[in-house]
Amino acid sequence: MSQVRSKSQKGKRAARPQEAVPTTILSEQLSTYAFGTVTAGAVMVAVAAWMGGSLASIDERIQTGLDATAKSTGFTVSKISIEGLDPRTKADVLNALAIEPGENMFRADPFVLKERIEEKVANVSEVRVLRQWPNDIWILADNRRPLALWQTDGEWAVVDQVGKPMEGEDPTKFVNLPRVVGPAAGYAAPELLAQLEFHPQISEHLEVAMRVGGRRWDLRLDTGLEIALPEDKLVDAALLAVYNLDEATGVLAKDSEVTRIDARDPERFAVGLGEARAEYEQSSGLDKKSGGA
């Protein structure tokens, strides 16, 4: 299959929204105490109403009493603020919440609302739901952004900024993204690519990162150089050591005779000379000439 050599794109986190999140959001524990007070009042209202009705309607009467008591004490939804999303996704989130102004604030369970958003809105990531008592709900989230291409079992997929596959996205439209290969490589890609942002002499020439044993990476650059990195917790130290070695010897230069750097021990490198290893076979056929954007 044909091999594509392309510059990796550095993922940059989108600017945070214009409106600042309030610095004081009361603990959900306080809501428990308030809820107890409201519930007690509601039960008294419901019992009084039930005495003139039937057992079959007691649950409905209690719920009605809860809503009435919450409204009379000022615990109703008056504002829903959404931060971190584009206008279209904000509208989708509002539809998914299915909450109207004036509803009982205690019914706005953050965990339930978070589940609704994640189930019904595909283009969101890292969702948080907060209640600002007594009347406001805050939704904090990010739009999903393509971060890398991931090959596993011979198939390519687009992964987002937290390493989750983006279903429905065509990999051939993202041929300039960094490429990672191997089991679970997509999920580990965000951490590696964030580390490589501090080393453009490597990231700008990254052709593919191969996940090894679920705990470390082998990098292949478009110059033919391979760099074997240590387990994840030592990657920063290893990349800094490679940088220092390059500053002293030019080992990363295109015309360098070095074809492999074994940096699995950041304090003791092994450097290979001679012909580069046979080019990595990419079975997907991803190619700028065949559908790349």
- Going residue by residue through the chain, which has 293 residues, state the pLDDT in tens, using 9 for 90 and above: 334 344 444 444 444 445 555 544 444 545 545 555 555 555 555 555 555 544 445 555 556 666 666 676 778 889 999 999 999 999 999 999 988 888 888 888 999 999 999 999 988 999 999 998 888 999 999 999 999 999 999 999 999 999 999 998 999 999 999 999 999 999 999 999 999 999 999 999 999 999 999 999 999 999 999 999 999 999 999 999 999 999 999 999 988 889 999 999 878 878 887 544 333 333 334 554 334 43
How far, in Å, CA of 8 to CA of 195, rounded?
14
How far, in Å, CA of 226 to CA of 263, rounded?
10
Domains of the chain, by residue range, sit at: 28-142, 146-273
DSSP state of 7: P
CATH number assigned to the domain covering 28-142: 3.10.20.310
Q: Is 221 helix (H, G, I), strand (E, B) or coil?
A: strand
How far, in Å, CA of 194 to CA of 175, rounded?
19
Give the strand order in the sheet containing 124-132. Answer: 79-83, 136-143, 124-132
Q: Are 234 and 269 in contact (CB under 8 A)?
A: no
Q: Are 269 and 243 in contact (CB under 8 A)?
A: no
* Total-model pTM: 0.67
Which amino acid appears at position 180 of this protein?
A: V
Nearest to 240 by CA among 268, 270, 266, 207: 266
Domains 28-142 and 146-273 share a fold: no
Provide φ and ψ at 262, rounded to 5°.
-95, 100
DSSP 26-61: --HHHHHHHHHHHHHHHHHHHHHHHTTS-GGGHHHH
Bridge partners of 223, per DSSP, are none
Q: Are 70 and 172 in contact (CB under 8 A)?
A: no
CATH number assigned to the domain covering 146-273: 3.40.50.11690
